[in-house]
Structure 1
C-alpha cells in the first residue's frame, strides 16, 4: 500500500511540474491531449473533405497564462494542405479566445472543410501548434489524429445517358381512296357524266395500280349510299338502297372490265345505306356561308320526328335557293372508299439498300434503318443523310449527336445537339446537352439542363442522380434512382450505409464491368467479408489491371494493406 501511495504522489508531482512549467512543458506533454476525429478515416463528399474534431485537455496541462494556436493539416505524397487554425487561452490570459482551465482541463469542438484533390487519396491528418507564455514560445510537435481519405463517392459512373428520337416508320401503311357519284333528285341511275369525273377516273386508276403492285394489298371496298333529308322516309329508304345497288353494279363491272379479281364476300365488299343524311346536311350547312345558318339548324334540331323535319327542310329549301341548289344535291350520292395497305421494305431489304443506294430511302426509312445497325459508322451515315436531306429535322440532328458522342467525338456531338436545339428547344435535346456538360465537368450547367429536361425520359432521372452523387446529396440521388438496378444506385445504397443491400444489387450485374466487381469488393470490405472482398477485387483487376493502382491506395481496404493475399492481387 505504501508503494502505491508513493507512486501516486510521484504522478501528482509530475503533473504539477508540467502545469507549472512553461510552453516547452506543454510541448513535451502534447501527447496527453485527446483528439476524436469524425469521420475517421476521413471521407470526401461533394468534392469536399469535411471533418470535426473534439479536443480534450487533461487536468493541470494547460498553463494559466498560455496561448495555444493549433493547426490541423493533411499530409500526403507531394504536398500539405492546412486547415484553419484555432487559438485557445489559459484562464489568466486577457483575450477573447476559448478558455481552457488549468485545474480541470477542458474541451472544445472544431470543424472545417477543404477541397478534395486526387493527391489526398492516401493521406494523414495531423495537428501542429505553438504554445506561448509571455515571451516564451514552443512548437507543439505534430500528432497524427486520423487517416484519409475514403473516396468511394468518386467511383460514380459519370457517363450520362443520351436520348435518341424515334422514327415514324411503319412497314404496313393503311391508305384510302375516296370517290363519289351524285344523283338527280329521286333518281338512282348512274349517269355517264358522273363516271367521267376526275375522282371516279382516279379511283379506277388507283385500283388498277394497287392490283399490279405486289407491295400493295387490297383490303376492301365500302359503298355508302345516301338520300337527302328532304324527302319522305319510305321513298328515301328505297332510294338509298337502289343507289347502293347501282353504285355496286358499276363498280363490279369496272373491276371485271379491268380484269381485276377481288373477293366477293361481305368482309371485302361493305355496303351501307343512309336514307336521310341529316348529319351530312348539318355539316354542309355549318361549312357554308348561308345567312342565318345557325338559326336554321337550331330550328330544325327542335324536330325529333323525321317526317316533320323533312317537311321543314323542304320549306326552308324553297326559301333559301342556296340550300336547294348547293346543299341538298351534294347529299344525293354514293361514296366509294377503297382501302389498301402499302407494304414497306423488310429489315433485310432496308439493310441491302444501305449497301446499294441508301439515297433511295425516305426520312422515316433512314431513321428506322439506323436502329437496325450496331456499328456507329453506319448509324452516323444514315442519320447524316437524313439530316442532309431534311435540314430542319430535329430527330436527325439529335441522333447524329448521340452517335457522335458514342464515338467519343464530344465536340461534334455538341455541335449537332446545338443545331437540334436551334431547330426546336426540345427536352430530349436539353438532356443530351446536359450529358455533354457533365462530360466536360460543368456540373452546374448539367444540373440546370437535366432539371429543365423533366419528362423527356427515365434517362433524365438517371443523369440528374449522377449530379446529386457528385454533389454529395445521396438522399436526392436515391429518390431519383428509385428501385432501378444500376451501378450508381448500388453506389448510393452503399454510401447510405447498406453494404449488404448494395452487394446484392451488384451481384445481379456481376460480369458486366470491372467497376461492378470493384464496388462489390468495397461493399464486402465494409461488411468485413474478407474472402468475398478478395474474390471480387481479383475479378475487377483481371478485367481492368489499372484498378490495382487505385486499390493499393484505397482506404476502404486499409485493414488489408498488410494482408499477403491482398498484396498479391494489387502488386
Structure 2
C-alpha cells in the first residue's frame, strides 16, 4: 500500500514537471514572434553614455499562468560583452495576455568605451516557471554605436595679457593761463615776460607736433567785466594772435596750417567762479558757502552780483578771487613722441642678446615688441627678459602662453606634457600676483593639453567669474563650448560658441553642436563658413558629409567625403565603419568617394 502511494506521488510530480517543461517550451517557441524596438537605432553615445529605450512586445498567448519572461539586454562588441539590464514580464501583471499583447518599455544606459564603436545590442529571453527556466535564441535588436558627439575638438586658445602700450597716435595736453586787467583784453607785456609767457614761447620754439590749441576766455562777475560781452572772446583771440606770431617767428611754415585753433569765450557763466571759490585757500568754508548759496540761488545775474557785493568779505573776493577769473586758459594738444615698431623690435633684440640694457624700453614697449614677431621662440625670449626684470603677472602669463603655443604644435606626447607643466608653473606664479581671466583661461588650456578635464573645467569656471577683454571672453567661450558638447548640452554649446569668435576650429565645434542639437541647416551653413577659412581641413568636410547624410542628400555626402579623405587620409577608414553612412556604404558612389 505504501509503495503504491509513493509511486502515485512520484508520477504526479513528474506530470507537473512535464507540464511545466511543456509550458516553457511553448513560450520559447512563441517568443519567435516577439518584437523589440530600440530608440535610437543605431545606438548613439552622448556625454560618454549610451542611452536608449527598449520596448518589448510579446505575442498574444505567449505569457502563461504563473510564469515570467525576462529579456536580458547586452551589448556585444568584438569578443566582449557588457550586460546592460533586463525587461521582465510577470504573468500576474498581464491578466489579459491571452487576448492582448503584453508591452513593456524601459530606459537603459551604459558607459561608452573606445572599443565599443562597432557592435550590436542583443536581447535574450528567459521563460521561467517555479525553479525551471528555458532560454530563447539571442536576438539582435540594434546596431551600435554612432560616435558623432565625440568629434568635438579640444579648444586650446592661448591668451596674452594686454601690453599696456598704445600704438596709435596719442596727444598730451599742455596748459598755460594768461591773466588780464579788469575790463581789458590786451595781452600785457608783464604776462608775456612771465614764467608762463616764457614757457609758452619755448614750447612753440620746440616745434612740438601740435593738433589743437584750445583757448577759453573768461571774465569776472562784476559789472565792468560783464557789460563787455565781447571781452571773453577778445581775450581768447589775443592768445591765438600771440601763438600765431610765435609760429611765424620760429618758421613753422606749412606746419602752422595743421594747427587747429578752437576759441571758447565764456560769458555769464558762474562755473569758473564756483570752481575758484571751492579751491580757494583764502576764503573760509563759511564764506565759501555764502558765495555758493547766492550763485546757486534764484535771480538774474545782476541780482546775484549785487548780493555778492554786500558780503562782508567782498573786498577779499574782489581782490583775491576775481582777478584769476579774468584770463584765457590755453590747452595745447601735442603728439606724444614714440619709437617706431622697427625701432622697438631692434632694441628688444639687443636686450635679449645682452647688447643693451632692459631700461632701453619700458615694460609696455618690451611687451609690445613681442607682439611684432610671429616666431614663438623670439616671443619667448622677450618674455623671459620681462619675467627676470619685472616679475609681473603679465610677464609670467605671457611666457606661459608661448609654452602653450609650443605644446600645441608638438607631436611628442612627453614634450607636450612637459611644456604644459612648465606653463602651469608660470601661470600659478602669475595667479599669486593677480588673479585674472587671462591666467585662468590659459590654465584651462594647459590642463586640457594634459587631459585633466576636471581641472580644465574648474579653471574656465574661475575665468568666467573674472573680468577680461574681448579676446579673453572668446577664449573662455571656445573652451566652455567644447565642455558643453562633451556634457551633451548641445543647444547651450551652440550659443556659447557663437560668442567665441570665427576661427575655423571654433566654427567646426559650433557646427557640431548645432548638428547634435538638431539644427542641421544651421550646421551646414556654419561648416561652409569654416571651410572658407580653412579649405584644407578634412574634419570640416567629414562633418559636412555627416550633416548631409542626416539630411539624406546623397550627392553632397559623396562630394564632401571625397574632400575629407583627400585632405586627411585617416578619415577613409573611419567613414567605412561610421554608422552615419550605413545607408550608403554599399553604393558605388560611397566607395568611389573614398578612393
**TM-score of the two chains, using structure 2 as the length reference:** 0.76
Partner of 1:547: 571
Given candidates 402, 411, 415, the residue that maps to 2:421 is: 411
Q: Does 1:517 align with 2:541?
A: yes
Q: Superposed, which structure 2 residues align to 1:134-533 within 5 Å?
A: 134-167=130-163, 168-182=165-179, 190=188, 195-197=193-195, 199-209=196-206, 211=207, 216-230=208-222, 232-233=224-225, 268=260, 278-288=270-280, 290-292=284-286, 293-302=288-297, 305-316=300-311, 319=313, 323-324=317-318, 326-357=320-351, 359=358, 360-383=360-383, 385=385, 390-392=390-392, 394=394, 397-408=396-407, 409-427=419-437, 429-436=439-446, 440-442=452-454, 444-445=457-458, 448-449=461-462, 452=465, 457=470, 459=474, 460-481=476-497, 486-497=507-518, 499=520, 502-510=523-531, 511-533=535-557
Partners of 1:509 and 1:112 lie apart in 2 by 37
Unaligned runs of 5+ in 1: 1-16, 92-96
Partners of 2:250 and 2:257 lie apart in 1 by 20
User: How far does the alpha carbon of each residue in 1:465-521 deviate from its partner, in whole angstroms, 9 at most, with x for none?
Assistant: 323321222233344455987222322332244545533442343325111011122
Partners of 1:507 and 1:259 lie apart in 2 by 61
Deviation of 1:555 (Å): 1.4
Partners of 1:392 and 1:239 lie apart in 2 by 54
Q: Does 1:71 align with 2:79?
A: no
Partners of 1:249 and 1:567 lie apart in 2 by 86
| Aligned length in residues | 542
Deviation of 1:55 (Å): 0.8
The farther-off stretch of 114-123 and 235-244 is 235-244
Deviation of 1:384 (Å): 5.0
Deviation of 1:109 (Å): 1.4
Does the 8 Å CA contact 1:123/1:149 hold for their aligned counterparts? yes
Deviation of 1:560 (Å): 4.0
Partners of 2:432 and 2:255 lie apart in 1 by 53
Query: Helix, strand or coil for the counterpart of 2:334?
Result: strand
Higher relative contact order (CA 8 A, sep 6+): 1
Partner of 1:13: none
Partners of 2:218 and 2:182 lie apart in 1 by 11
Unaligned runs of 5+ in 2: 1-17, 353-357, 408-418
User: How far does the alpha carbon of each residue in 1:73-95 deviate from its partner, in whole angstroms, 9 at most, with x for none?
Assistant: 1111252211123333334xxxx
Partner of 1:118: 114
Partners of 2:331 and 2:154 lie apart in 1 by 56
Partners of 2:255 and 2:300 lie apart in 1 by 40
Partners of 1:477 and 1:247 lie apart in 2 by 62
Query: Helix, strand or coil for the counterpart of 1:337?
Result: strand
Deviation of 1:570 (Å): 5.8
Deviation of 1:319 (Å): 1.9
Query: Helix, strand or coil for the counterpart of 1:145?
Result: strand
Does the 8 Å CA contact 2:183/2:225 hold for their aligned counterparts? no
Partners of 1:193 and 1:254 lie apart in 2 by 15
Partners of 2:568 and 2:132 lie apart in 1 by 57
Q: Structure 1 residues 451 and 107 mapped into 2: Cα distance closer, same or farther (>3 Å)?
A: farther
Partner of 1:40: 41
Partner of 1:14: none
Does the 8 Å CA contact 2:247/2:256 hold for their aligned counterparts? no
Partners of 1:184 and 1:159 lie apart in 2 by 71
Deviation of 1:415 (Å): 4.4
Query: Helix, strand or coil for the counterpart of 1:81?
Result: strand
Partners of 1:389 and 1:182 lie apart in 2 by 48
Deviation of 1:38 (Å): 1.0
Partners of 2:457 and 2:63 lie apart in 1 by 47
Deviation of 1:30 (Å): 4.2
Query: Helix, strand or coil for the counterpart of 2:155?
Result: coil
Deviation of 1:224 (Å): 4.7
Q: Structure 1 residues 105 and 184 mapped into 2: Cα distance closer, same or farther (>3 Å)?
A: closer
Does the 8 Å CA contact 1:183/1:332 hold for their aligned counterparts? yes
Does the 8 Å CA contact 1:161/1:462 hold for their aligned counterparts? yes
Q: Structure 1 residues 387 and 141 mapped into 2: Cα distance closer, same or farther (>3 Å)?
A: same
